[in-house]
């Protein structure tokens, strides 16, 4: 049995992922703002350092896997904070825990992205560039400027929609770029991402209201299966990516969204390589 760290472990997909790992007999170190083994704010540099230090102490410096699940949604009032929590938080945490994953001899890491990175037409490429360059202050400033320019009809319900979609877009790019570097791939550490769609979590319901009020066929994006997802649907794939048998999978982005991305962009994958 192994030792795994799960962020966002107090609720939603993080809680379901931690439960799935514990049910399989593993030791789980939960990280969250409350009700967790490690209480830390991943939206701040100090919080990230504290989280890394505590996870390393509790794990004895060796981890079999990390699930970076913690995140916030487009209803959050501060777009700058969305960038810090959704992008800079998981990146710093995984960078800090990479040596512990290497020590296990077969470390696995999975991050939770979102299909909003490809289905919301408000991704800010310059903001993504700033994030990938590691310039958190500039990214926060740009995200807030974009938020201030949103039309009122959007700003009312989803004030951080651009920052949310962009943070998940940048995170997916970070996974693809990082997974194949020698520091990860040649050290035997696998890194993948899951892109959920409409999953009934506190985060989603905080943006859209009570699930009982929704008809999947009237949701803003297509729902080909006609149902919403549940946290356990994501936890299943988190567990699969963290299993030892997932030894030949890295740099992947798995859509677990009931077919939404495929319905909206059926011809974007695969994309032919051109000479």
Active site residues: 164
d(CA 221, CA 260) in angstroms, rounded, equals 7
Count CB atoms within 10 A of the CB of residue 92.
Answer: 21
Residues 6+ apart with CB under 8 A from 86: 71, 72, 163, 164, 167, 168, 171
Q: Are 227 and 216 within 8 A, CB to CB?
A: yes
d(CA 99, CA 92) in angstroms, rounded, equals 13
d(CA 109, CA 189) in angstroms, rounded, equals 7
Rounded (10°) CA dihedral 89, 92, 93, 94: 120
Among the listed residues 72, 78, 73, 71, the one whose alpha carbon sits nearest the alpha carbon of residue 147: 78
Cα–Cα distances (Å) from 246 to 49, 139, 153, 213, in that order, read 29, 34, 44, 39
């Amino acid at each position: 049995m192994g030792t795994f760290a799960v962020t966002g472990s107090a609720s939603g997909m993080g809680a379901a992922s931690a439960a799935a790992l514990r049910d399989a007999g593993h030791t789980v170190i939960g990280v969250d703002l409350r009700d967790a083994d490690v209480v830390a704010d991943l939206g701040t540099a100090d919080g990230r350092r504290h989280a890394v230090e505590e996870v390393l102490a509790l794990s004895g410096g060796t981890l079999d896997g990390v699930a970076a699940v913690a995140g916030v949604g487009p209803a959050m009032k501060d777009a700058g904070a969305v960038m810090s929590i959704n992008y800079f938080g998981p990146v710093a945490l995984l960078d800090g825990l990479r040596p512990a994953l290497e020590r296990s001899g077969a470390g696995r890491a999975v991050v939770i992205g979102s299909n909003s990175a490809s289905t919301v037409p408000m991704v800010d490429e310059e903001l993504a560039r700033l994030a990938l360059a590691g310039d958190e202050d500039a990214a926060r400033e740009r995200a807030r400027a974009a938020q201030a320019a949103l039309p009122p009809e959007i700003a009312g319900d989803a004030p951080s929609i651009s920052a949310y979609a962009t943070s998940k877009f940048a995170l997916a790019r970070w996974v693809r770029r990082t997974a194949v570097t020698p520091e990860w791939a040649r050290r035997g550490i696998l890194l993948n991402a899951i892109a959920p769609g409409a999953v009934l979590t506190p985060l989603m319901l905080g943006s859209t209201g009570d699930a009982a009020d929704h008809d999947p066929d009237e949701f803003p994006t297509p729902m080909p299966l006609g149902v919403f997802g549940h946290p356990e649907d994501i936890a299943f794939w988190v567990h699969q990516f963290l299993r030892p048998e997932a030894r030949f999978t890295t740099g992947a982005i798995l859509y677990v969204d009931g077919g939404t991305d495929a319905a909206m962009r059926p011809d974007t994958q695969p994309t032919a390589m051109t000479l």
